[in-house]
Structure 1
Amino acid sequence: MDEDVAMMDVDGQETPTSTSNSQWVAPPASPQDLSSVWTAENSTQQRIIQFITRWPPSRTPFAYGPWIYASRGGMSEGIAGQDIPGLKAAFQALLGAGRVTVDTVDQISKTNNVVTGKWMIFEESPKIDMLWGKILHFVTVERKKGVVKVSTCKEGEKHVICIYVNDYTNKPEVDALRKGLRSLGVKWRIGFKTDAYTHLNIYKDNPWNLRPSRFQE
C-alpha cells in the first residue's frame, strides 16, 4: 500500500528541509508512531480525539513520513495470498500480446488475488483535519473494519485520504463504502483505484489509455 504515494505525483518534489516550523507537531520517536491499530476495545471517541490531535494531517510534515495510518482489521482476507510478482509477469505477457484493457487487467488481478482497492478523497490542508477525523471515526467506530490513511503535509499539494476495501470486484462492498462516505459529506465525485493499478504503474496519461480510477462516483 505504500506505493500509493506515487499516485500523488509527488516524485521529484522537495520535502520540507526543516521541521522547526512552529506550525508542525513534535516529531515522532519513530515512523511507526504514525501508524495505529484499532480494536473494539480501544475505538473510543477519546482515543480518536487524542490521535488526530497528536497527528493532524495539516500540521504533520511529509518529512515525518508520507502517511498517517489507521487499521481497524478485516483486511487480512484481501491481502493474504496476493501474488504481486505473478501479477507483474502476467501484465508483461499482456504487453507482449498488445492486450492491455480494463477487462484483461481485471482478469490478471483476480487470478493473482490482487483485488484490494481504495476510494481516494483529495482535500486542501485547511479542511483536511476535520474530514480525516470524520473518516477515522467512521472506519473505527461505525464500519468497524478496514484500513484508512491520509497523506501528511507537503507544501503546495492537496492531501489524499485512501479508504480500503478487501475486494474491488465485490461491487456491493465498494458501493456500500461510497455510500458511507457520502453520509459524511463527501458528495462530490471521487475516484476508486485498485492496488493492482498502483503495482502496475497505471497512472494518468498511461500508454494504454486506461482511466487510472477503476470507478468514479
Structure 2
Amino acid sequence: MTTEPAIQSAAMAECEEGEPSRWSVSDDLAAASMAADMDPWIIFDARKTPRAEFDEWLETYRPSRVHRFGNPCEESGPVGWIAVYGPSYCPGAKGGKELHNAWDKLQSTGRNINFEAIRELALNFGVTSGKWLMHLDTGFKVDHAWRCIATAVVDGRLNVAKVSPFQSDNNHVICVYTWDFTDEESIMQTDAVIRSSGVKCVLTYKPDIYTYLGIYRSNQWKICPTIYESRYDLECVPRRSRVINKVTSLEVT
C-alpha cells in the first residue's frame, strides 16, 4: 500500500448535465477535485502487493469509513482518494502547461467551444483517457460497489479505479478508467465488465481532458460534462446496459 497521489484526474463531484446557473459552481467543483488529487491517496497496487493482502486492505479502507478530511479520534489525516491499480496498470498522459496554453489560445480565437474542439485538443496532446463514473450513497451501497469494482481491477478485468472517501454530504463517486474516450468500443467493453462485476446503478462517462480543463456542470461553455450515460435494463432478456451517446443523443447499445 502507498499513499502518494497519482492519476491526476477526475472530480469529487462529477455531475450529470444541468442548466448552467453560475460559473462558480464549475470552479468550485474543479477546486475540490484539485484539492483531492493533491492530498494523500490510499492505494492498493496489484503490480507490487500480493493478492493475498487485498481482502484485508479492502476491509480496512472501506470508503464509507475513510474520512476525506481525517478523523481526529483516530488521529488520521486527510485522504484524497482510495485507489486500486491493476496488474498491467501504466499511467497515461496528463494535462500539462502546454495543453492549458493551447486551451487558452483556443478560447481567444472566438471558435465555438464544443465537444469536437476539445476532442481535437485531446488528440493533439495525447490526452485521451476517460472514466465511467458512478454516484452512490455512503454505507453499504458504496462499500459493496467498490468491492465489486476493486476486485475486477485486481483480477485484471479492469485497469484502474478509485473512490472518494466519506464526506459530510454522504455521497461518493467511483471512477473506472479507460485508455481512450474516442474508442467507443472499448468504452462499451468496460461498461460490460462493470455490469458483470455486479454494479447496476446509472453510469456516466467523462473524458479526462474535461477534468484537466475544469469542465464541470454549470460551466461557462454550456458543455455537458459527460459524453455517455449507461442505464442497466432489468427488463431486457438477457439483461444489459442501454447506453446513450450524449453528444449525438443516439443509443449506442
TM range (shorter): 0.7 to 0.9
Equivalent position of 1:88 in the other structure = 100
Compute the TM-score of the two structures, normalised by the length of structure 2. Answer: 0.69
Q: Percent identity over the alignment? A: 25
Give the whole-Å Cα distance in 2 for the aligned partners of 1:6 and 1:61. Answer: 13
* Structure 2 spans left out of the alignment, 5+ residues: 1-6, 15-28, 33-38, 70-77, 231-253
1:119-143 Cα offsets, whole Å, 9 max, x none, are 1111111211111111111111150
- Aligned 8 A contact 1:120 1:160 in 2: yes
Selected match of 1:42 from 36, 40, 50: 50
1:137 is aligned to 2:145: no
1:19-168 matches, within 5 Å, as: 31=40, 34-39=42-47, 42-43=50-51, 46-63=52-69, 64-76=78-90, 79-80=92-93, 82=94, 84-99=96-111, 100-126=113-139, 127-143=141-157, 145-168=158-181
Which amino acid is the alignment partner of residue 181 of structure 1? I
1:208 is aligned to 2:221: yes
Greater strand percent: which structure?
2
Greater helix percent: which structure?
1
1:188-203 matches, within 5 Å, as: 188-203=201-216
Which amino acid is the alignment partner of residue 93 of structure 1? K
Give the whole-Å Cα distance in 2 for the aligned partners of 1:170 and 1:118. Answer: 12
* Structure 1 spans left out of the alignment, 5+ residues: 13-29
1:187 is aligned to 2:200: yes
Over 3 Å counting, the alpha-carbon distance change for 1:102 and 1:147 in structure 2 is: same
Compute the TM-score of the two structures, normalised by the length of structure 1. Answer: 0.80
1:176 is aligned to 2:189: yes
Give the whole-Å Cα distance in 1 for the aligned partners of 2:115 and 2:178. Answer: 19
- Aligned 8 A contact 2:148 2:199 in 1: no
- Aligned 8 A contact 2:134 2:202 in 1: no
Give the whole-Å Cα distance in 1 for the aligned partners of 2:81 and 2:48. Answer: 23
Which amino acid is the alignment partner of residue 35 of structure 1? I
Give the match's secondary structure for 1:36. strand
TM-fit CA distance, 1:50: 0.7
Give the whole-Å Cα distance in 2 for the aligned partners of 1:173 and 1:7. Answer: 24
C-alpha RMSD over aligned residues? 2.4
- Aligned 8 A contact 2:217 2:225 in 1: yes
TM-fit CA distance, 1:147: 1.3
- Aligned 8 A contact 1:75 1:166 in 2: no
Which amino acid is the alignment partner of residue 112 of structure 1? F
